[in-house]
Structure 1
């Protein structure tokens, strides 16, 4: 079992998925269906699909970004259902800044509702914190 020895509040990052930058959406969809994923959301005509296998979510995005992205959606569970209690993207942004984490892109707007920001891990992997509620 995970133990938080430093007694620090654990951040609630929300629904996790990996967003894959794919070259051919149709081929990627067919591949992931073969290993048990089903289309959960998205629109092929708009260049993206969200595939689901149990609690595992994979986003397939054609022509939207260059690298794969780790994505967290505060306010959602793994089924993209709104959570009653969650850490708002604005709270997370301030917590990340207070820990000295450099913010790569800050699109946080207004005092509530949908917003996002991104960070880059030490290996260059983009991480998107994308709140929809």
Structure 2
């Protein structure tokens, strides 16, 4: 199963403070906007998403169709195909969004309660 780009998504209380902290660790703003309360920070091939007021806790995030630099990968495994495979293995999915093609997403929760977001942007 090809899940695409990987990042850790963090719920933060103060986006500016979190941005400064991760910049001190060598991360640079790569995507998102502070005006929309989120930033994607990058250090080498490592991605961290900082999200203020969007969700609670930490989430693992995969983006089918993207590499670690958000460049399109072709071919790629569609999010709906990934979802079908997981359901066939008895894994429950929730928070499904999107139609029959194009952008879509869902969340699977691991046995310890950690949410895993599969979020396709194209």
Which residue number in structure 2 is paired with residue 115 of structure 1? 104
Structure 1 alignment gaps of length 5 or more: 1-10
Ranges of 4+ aligned residues in structure 1 off by more than 4 Å: none
Q: Give the corresponding residue for 1:3.
A: none
For 1:26 and 1:55, locate their aligned partners in 2 and report how far apart those are by CA, in whole Å. 22
Q: Distance in 1 between matches of 2:53 and 2:88?
A: 34
Which structure would you say has the larger Rg? 1
Partner of 2:72: 82
The answer to whether 1:32 aligns with 2:22 is yes
Which structure 2 segments of 5+ residues have no match? Answer: none
Q: Comparing both structures, which one devotes a greater share of its residues to strand?
A: 2
The CA deviation string for residues 53-100 of structure 1, in whole angstroms up to 9 with x for no partner, is: 000000000000011110000000000011011110011010000100
Equivalent pair of 1:90/1:108 in contact (CA under 8 Å): no
Secondary structure at the counterpart of residue 97 of structure 1 = helix
TM-score with structure 2 setting the length: 0.97
| Mapped partners of 1:20, 1:54: distance in 2 | 18
Cα distance in structure 1, aligned partners of 2:78 and 2:106? 12
Deviation at residue 105 of structure 1 after TM alignment: 2.1
| 2:11 alignment partner, SS class | strand
Which structure 2 residues correspond to residues 1-133 of structure 1 after superposition, within 5 A?
11-110=1-100, 112-133=101-122
Q: For 2:57 and 2:110, locate their aligned partners in 1 and report how far apart those are by CA, in whole Å.
A: 13
Question: In the aligned structure 2, how far is the partner of 1:100 from the partner of 1:85?
Answer: 26
Task: Tell me how far 1:22 sits from its aligned partner.
Answer: 0.3
Corresponding pairs, count: 122
TM, length-normalised to structure 1: 0.89
> What do you get for the CA RMSD once the two structures are aligned?
0.7
